[in-house]
Amino acid sequence: MALSFCCYASLNPQLHGKLSHGNSKNLQKVKEVLKTSGVLSIATSPHESLQNGNWVKLICGASFEDVVDVRNLSLVYTLAGVDCVDCAAYASVVSAVNEGIEAAREILHFRRPWVMISVNDDEDLHFRKAEFDPHDCPLNCSRPCENVCPADAILLDGTPDALKRGVLTERCYGCGRCFPVCPYDKISGQTVLFDKLWNGLGDSVTNLRLVAVSSPNSGDSTISSMNTMYSIMEANLRCFNLWQLDGRPMSGDIGRGATRESIAFAVQLAGAEDKPRGFLQLAGGTNAQTVDGLRKVGLFKTTNMMSITFTHSQHLKGRSLPLTSPHLSHALIGGVAYGGYARKIVGRVLSSMQSEHGHAHIEDHPEHLLNAVVQALALVGGVKSYRISL
């Protein structure tokens, strides 16, 4: 899971390279493709894109530190009109993103995407802990949680008045198996590190534009985990928040079918009445098939719960859904984040350029930039509705 936030990133003016006159002339074909695509017609802010359901974020990777690739990826996807570039929380990487964005805006001037910094906690094996209050448990519960725990991390003593003890946090390693077996939905995943991450931001939260929380599909406990995290953030939340639905983490580049879990997760969350406030955005398994998948289930740029067809979701088959939602003022799904797939399609061009020219600025090689921009426009344009013609 990761906590990401868009902030008012400062720019290092020394990093801004000016385009040479020669390069500017050679980039004419790139400019023509961009102009005919309609990318320049984007006048909405990233926040408005979220409301309209056509937000697109490039994920460079929370641990991806190749600053040359990060710069070139940021340049290419800025030209393609993304709303946000998400990167690792290293000063060198953030500078590379900003440099790529500014280089793109020297080629054609249009609105600046937000920069999102991602703090990844995947290395912390103790990130998640089960939590429940045994005093809330019915005395006659058969205690399936105790039986299912592979770590003997749940111990309950019955007294005439209440159950006592509960989760032995030092033994719990967060496998999540106890979450769905509780017949009373008492168990949630306590986000120890999330709490620390959020509180560690201190007063800097006032400078944030958007906070994104990566949410894996943890079955029946997904919503309770989201609500727990939201309750941690709520008092200090001064900006918009977004739930990044990690349908099938880091798999978008694997194949066409990788996005199915991402779509199914989106349907599940769009129909959940008890989810916390915030935009919903797909990630994890997203690729060129994602928009079609969203369209098929009626979730692409829609604010209307009635228009969602549930035949594609085993999870929701036969269930009735709420006809009202706290989010009806904006699209049910705010947009899509592309990570591995976005890097793969442009990465091929970057690799080809590097094999010929070494580590180079892509705008210095317009033929490669054109190839990369066409790839990026095709992906981003699926959400933004561009017309690509060469």
Nearer to ligand SF4, 16 or 126 (CB): 126
Q: How many residues bind ligand SF4 (CB under 6 A)?
A: 25
Min dist CB 192 to ligand SF4, Å, is 12
Please report whether residue 143 would count as binding ligand SF4 according to CB under 6 A: yes
* Least distance (Å) between residue 33 CB and ligand SF4: 51
Tell me if 186 contacts ligand SF4 by CB under 6 A: yes
- Cβ-based nearer residue to ligand SF4, 148 or 288: 148
CB 189, min distance to ligand SF4, A: 7
**Pairing label, strands 188-191, 84-88:** unpaired
Looking at the Cβ atoms of 182 and 346, the one nearer to ligand SF4 is 182
Scored b (16 or more CB within 10 A) or e, 108-130 reads: eebeebbbbbbbbbeeeeebbbb
Judging by beta carbons within 10 Å of its beta carbon (0-12, 13-18, 19+), is residue 339 exposed, middle or buried? buried
Residue closer to ligand SF4, measured from CB, 151 or 378: 151
Instruction: Kindly indicate which of the ranges 112-120, 181-189, 223-231, 295-303 contains the residues binding ligand SF4, using the contact rule CB under 6 A.
Output: 181-189
Residue 176 as a binder of ligand SF4 (CB under 6 A): the answer is: yes
Applying CB under 6 A, among 2, 97, 167, 291 the residue interacting with ligand SF4 is: 167
- SS3 string, the chain, reads CEEEEEECCCCCHHHCCCCCHHHHHHCHHHHHHHHHHCHHHCCCCHHHHHHHCCEEEEEEECCCCCHHHHHHHHHHHHHCCCCEEEEECCHHHHHHHHHHHHHHHHHCCCCCCEEEEEEECCCCCCCEEEECCHHHCCCCCCCHHHHHCCCCCEEEEECCCCEEEEECCCCCCCCCCCCCCCCCCCCEEEEHHHHHHHHHCHHHHHHEEEEEEEEECCHHHHHHHHHHHHHHHHCCCCCEEEEEEECCCCCCCCCHHHHHHHHHHHHHHHCCCCCCCCEEEEECCCCCCHHHHHHHCCCCCCCCHHHCCCCCCHHHCCCCCCCCCCCCCCCCCCEEEECHHHHHHHHHHHHHHHHHHCCCCHHHCHHHHHHHHHHHHHHHHHHHCCCCCC
- Comparing CB distances to ligand SF4, the nearer of 90 and 173 is 173
**Beta carbon of residue 272, minimum distance to ligand SF4 (angstroms, whole number):** 21
Please give the backbone phi and psi of residue 382, each rounded to the nearest 5 degrees, phi first.
-60, -35
Q: Which is nearer to ligand SF4, 81 or 134 (CB)?
A: 134
Residues 71-130 that bind ligand SF4 (CB under 6 A): 130
Which of these segments, 26-34, 141-149, 201-209, 238-246, binds ligand SF4 (CB under 6 A)?
141-149
- Among 81, 100, 113, 174, the residue binding ligand SF4 under the rule CB under 6 A is 174
Nearer to ligand SF4, 186 or 327 (CB): 186
Q: Specify the residue, 95 or 221, whose C-beta has the smaller distance to ligand SF4.
A: 221
Binding segment (CB under 6 A) for ligand SF4, from list 33-41, 167-175, 266-274, 377-385: 167-175
Interacting span for ligand SF4 (CB under 6 A) from 28-36, 137-145, 290-298, 302-310: 137-145
Based on the shown chain and the rule CB under 6 A, indicate whether residue 145 belongs to the binding site for ligand SF4. Answer: yes
Q: Is the backbone of residue 38 left (phi > 0), alpha (psi -120 to 50) or beta? A: left
Check residue 175 for interaction with ligand SF4 (CB under 6 A). Answer: yes
Query: According to the binding rule CB under 6 A, does residue 177 interact with ligand SF4?
Result: yes
Q: Indicate whether 137 belongs to the interface with ligand SF4 (CB under 6 A).
A: yes
Q: Tell whether residue 180 is a contact of ligand SF4 (CB under 6 A).
A: no
d(CA 155, CA 149): 10
Q: Is residue 155 a contact residue for ligand SF4 (CB under 6 A)? A: no
- Verify binding: residue 1, ligand SF4, rule CB under 6 A: no
What residues make contact with ligand SF4 under the rule CB under 6 A?
A: 130, 132, 137, 141, 143-145, 148-149, 151, 153-154, 156, 167, 172-178, 182, 184, 186-187
